[in-house]
A and B are shown apart, each in its own frame.
Chain A
């Protein structure tokens, strides 16, 4: 039986792991390759590396990092952060990345999704969406790491992206990210039920019960979290044992 996935996310800045709270207040959390290898040994099902470096050196350092990760890690990993062209993706895949995630660049140029899925297959194209629920009750798409609001509804953009060839949706709720109050179950569940591709829930996981809810009420195919793993608040083996006990299908 296909299992639900637990995905630690490593935010990378200048080659180091960092984690922002509510997309701000960056703190240092260690070497990404060491941390990724540790998570792989502990039973993480996949890893996501999001590069938030803004320097011109970014492309080279990211390529080198991806190469180092793929030499040391025996589970699949996704790389994201500022990817905006077929050539960017080719280099990352050639250095061993399994999937790439696109966000702002894909929203500004949806053809990028079509180009990437035709060139490399939709299985390696993850569309990341940062979303916020506003006072009107709707969930809107945000760009540029959550700094820029759009008028697009998250469900509409996700549907369009899947039609263009996105193979997976990584959905981060800005209302929930960093709060440790649980994942955004309603929008995650809506997307997971509506879309023919897997949906990764992200933002808000603080307790092991939150993960149970992401997979049951939220219908997520995978759940992603960062600081609770980096700061050892929840250990992956313990989380997986808990999920199994709750009847969730989990690799163990």
Chain B
């Protein structure tokens, strides 16, 4: 059982590695194509800016590699956003795995304003798939982001800020979470366990 964390220029990859260690899972941080393709599980983390990250992935042919992966893949935060079709962040074409589009947070239609980026703990609800097995509805997870994926057919968790958006997505072998499971205390550890052990 091997888990690979895709190494690229997005920050804070170590946190994911340490979180896996805390739940007793070993992982390898690498950008080696062969190691990624042959892993049982792949984690695609990310904190940073969309266009720079996509550029970096393209230069190393990691974009097409990720798209073609057959094993379970978990995108985290920017990783999940990059798995969508397009991001408003510097008008970036992304990997196109999820059809949901990524937009910048705006004040709500009823005029409610929010601070951007969203920083802190928010609820996840409408939970679907075994990624959330044992995770109660409205559990709190830790979010840090200025852009969000809209609701769509691949939505498997929702969060309100101020309006509902996709806090997790799923299609075939691909999963994405907007929050940081590696920083979401026991709830996050349960989600990582579900992904690693399923």
Contacts and interface: CB of A to CB of B under 8 A. Distances in A.
B186 A74 contact: yes
Contact of B185 (A74, A94, A121): A74
Contacts of A121: 11, 47-49
A123 B117 contact: yes
A3 B138 CA distance: 12
Contacts of B122: 1-3
Contact of B11 (A75, A120, A222): A120
B146 interface: yes
Interface string B50-86: 0000000000000000000000000000000000000
B30 interface: no
Contact of B115 (A72, A95, A198): A198
A71 B18 contact: yes
Contacts of B15: 70, 96, 98
A239 B184 CA distance: 20
A222 B47 CA distance: 22
A221 B115 contact: yes
Given A75-B183, A94-B14, A221-B119, A3 B140 contact: yes
Contacts of B160: 1
Contacts of A74: 19, 22, 182-186, 188-189
A79 to B, nearest CB: 13
Interface residues of A, number: 31
B48 A120 contact: yes
A45 B115 contact: no
A4 to B, nearest CB: 8
Contacts of B14: 70, 93-96
Contacts of A167: 117, 119
B154 interface: no
B103 to A, nearest CB: 17
A122 interface: yes
A151 to B, nearest CB: 29
A222 B120 CA distance: 9
Given A3-B122, A95-B14, A196-B115, A76 B183 contact: yes
17 contacts: A2-B122, A3-B120, A71-B18, A71-B21, A93-B12, A96-B18, A98-B12, A98-B15, A98-B183, A120-B11, A120-B48, A121-B47, A123-B145, A124-B47, A198-B119, A221-B120, A222-B120
For the complex of A and B, 5 pairs with smallest distance between CB atoms: A251-B121, A251-B140, A123-B144, A76-B183, A2-B122
